[in-house]
Amino acid sequence: MAEFDYDLFVIGAGSGGVRASRIAASHGARVAVAEEFRVGGTCVIRGCVPKKLLVYGSHFAHSLHDAAQYGWTIEGATFDWATLRDFVASDVDRLERAYTSTLNTNNVEHFAERAVVAGPNTVRLASGREISAKFILIAVGAWPVMPEIVGAEHCITSNEVFHLPELPRRVVIQGAGYIAMEFAGIFNALGSDVTVVNRSDVILRGYDHDLTARLQPIMEARGVKFGFNRPIREVQKLADGSLLVHAGEGDPIPADVVLVATGRRPKTDGLGLENAGITLGKGGEIPVDAFSKTACDSIYAVGDVTDRVQLTPIAIREGHAFADTVFGGKPRSTHYDAIPSAVFSQPPIASVGLTEADARAQLGEVRVYTSDFRPMQNMFATQAERGFYKLVVDAGTDKVVGIHMIGPDAPEILQAAAIAVKAGLTKAQFDDTIALHPSMAEELVLMR
């Protein structure tokens, strides 16, 4: 008989856990996975996928508003939140079935219950059953942080925002990261009165300053209000069911929904990692080495639960690399340079590589090229929003080390451009490339 019940037991069936399970099984491993909520994880169930669908739905508001400039007459246009909300939920159901099918097709056993670590080679299910495994992989992701404020029970996080019974008339959002900016754009476009409050005066910390400096006034022109240096102190529920938000020193802000988007924390509470001698980091994260191994030789961790980059494609890469390393005889790690990222704000921004500030700090002498233009599709818009692209170049090597963009379809354009940064292409090679005209993307090869 086998020494262990399974070769691999995965705790968490999100993007990283499912990829690791599938690849390990393809290498011949006996694999089981436990998921306490729904197969698919944060991105599929309550994150980037349903959020992007809401973004698409909200874009129709802008298109309908500008339709008359194109010669269209659209009378009686109305919006029904329940229709959009329920369509998004149905697509989440479809994706969960697809992820579950992937596990089944690869003969990965699935336990629909919580599992915790009981020892270096043992997990304990919520039902009390203990299961042994040669290796354990932790892939439980992260969870929204709710700050300690009076009336926090009246607030929601990005977990609950997809299930609102009706479109709120007034929304207050605390935070200025990508989740806050994305939902501010969604609710604003759908017709809600949106106020963003933040404890500092900076939005999208970590993104190039030229992008964030352009995004904020565009959002303000669209009607989003910002309250900087105004962290929420108290959320008061009134007799009529509405809310009153006390933020900073300003006047209270009336609201129907208060969305707290102040970051995410690794979901390690009560996971039992101390039973395997694993000490968590100060933020609750699991420290790992380059091959995702923890302080315990039989336990690995991938994705948002670790001390690395919290992005779904990174979790997938880490899960695949882990399975190839441990079960495929092909040791490899994940590289974290030139990672493309996007914020699906309205308009969206996209970046890859070093910001101008980081490039100057790391490289010394840099050259910066910019293009400030009005996208052709905005010519008919009532608001003359401009696009902005920026190349950051290492002056010593001529390599393009950063690309930063704001404007329509910026994330779709950046993916291809990210290949160039990853490959170490030079500004001269950008210049040698013929422009695709007329397009917004051509601006990338026309900067002089």
**pLDDT tens profile 52-101:** 999 999 999 888 888 888 888 888 889 999 999 999 999 999 999 999 99
* CA distances, 209 to each of 33, 202, 389 (Å): 42, 10, 12
What confidence tens digit (pLDDT) does each residue in 328-342 have? 999 999 999 999 999
413 CB-contact burial (10 Å; exposed 0-12 / middle 13-18 / buried 19+): buried
Give the separation between CA 385 and CA 67, rounded to whole angstroms: 16
- CA proximity to 281, closest of 263, 268, 297, 298: 268
**228 contact partners, CB below 8 Å, separation of at least 6:** 197, 198, 200, 201
State yes or no: 263 annotated in a binding site: yes
Domains with residue ranges and CATH for the chain: 6-144+265-327 (3.50.50.60), 152-262 (3.50.50.60), 341-445 (3.30.390.30)
Q: What's the pLDDT score for residue 286?
A: 97
pLDDT at 400: 98
Digit-coded pLDDT (tens) for 175-226: 999 999 999 999 999 999 999 999 999 999 999 999 999 999 999 999 999 9
Tokens of 436: 């695709």
Whether the per-residue pLDDT at 113 is higher than 80: the answer is: yes
**Measured CA angle at 165 (ends 164, 166), to 5 deg:** 90
70 among annotated binding-site residues: no
Q: What pLDDT is stored for residue 40 in this prediction?
A: 92
Residue 1, pLDDT score: 44
* Res 67: pLDDT: 85
Of 116, 46, 59, nearest to 377 by C-alpha is 59
Give the containing element (helix H, strand E) for 364.
none
Pairing of strands 193-197, 170-174: parallel
Q: How many CB atoms lie within 10 A of CB 148?
A: 5
- DSSP per-residue codes, 375-436: -GGGTTSSS---EEEEEEEETTT-BEEEEEEESTTHHHHHHHHHHHHHHT-BHHHHHHSPP-
For residue 376, say whether it is annotated as part of any ligand binding site: no
Q: Which of 209, 246, 404, 437 is catalytic?
A: 437
Helix H or strand E segment including 329: none
The predicted model gives 356-373 an average pLDDT of 96
Identify the burial level of 323 via C-beta atoms within 10 angstroms of its C-beta, where 0-12 means exposed, 13-18 middle and 19 or more buried: buried
Q: Which two tokens stand for residue 272?
A: 């039992």
pLDDT at 395: 97
Q: Is 282 marked as a binding-site residue?
A: no
Catalytic status, residue 437: yes
Is 349 annotated as belonging to a binding site? no
- pLDDT(287) > 50: yes
pLDDT in tens, 148-183: 999 999 999 999 999 999 999 999 999 999 999 999
338: three-class secondary structure by DSSP: coil
CA distances from 403 to 77, 178, 208, 288 (A): 39, 18, 9, 30
Q: Is 180 annotated as a binding residue?
A: yes
DSSP of 238-294: -TTS-EEEEETTS--EEESEEEE-S-EEE--TT--GGGGTPPP-TTS-B---TTSB-
Ligand-binding annotation for 384, yes or no, is: no
Is 52 marked within a binding site? yes
What's the pLDDT tens digit per position in 224-274?
A: 999 999 999 999 999 999 999 999 888 999 999 999 999 999 999 999 999
Interval 403-444: pLDDT, tens: 999 999 999 999 999 999 999 999 999 999 999 999 999 999
When the pLDDT of each residue in the chain is averaged and rounded to a whole number, the result is 95
Q: Is 175 annotated as a binding residue?
A: yes
Residue 351: per-residue pLDDT: 98
The pLDDT of residue 104 is 94
Q: How far is CA 4 from CA 32, 94, 133, 383, 415, in A?
A: 12, 34, 5, 64, 43
CA dist., res. 56 & res. 401, Å (int):
31
Cβ atoms within 10 Å of 338's Cβ, excluding its own? 18
Q: Which two tokens stand for residue 29?
A: 């491993």
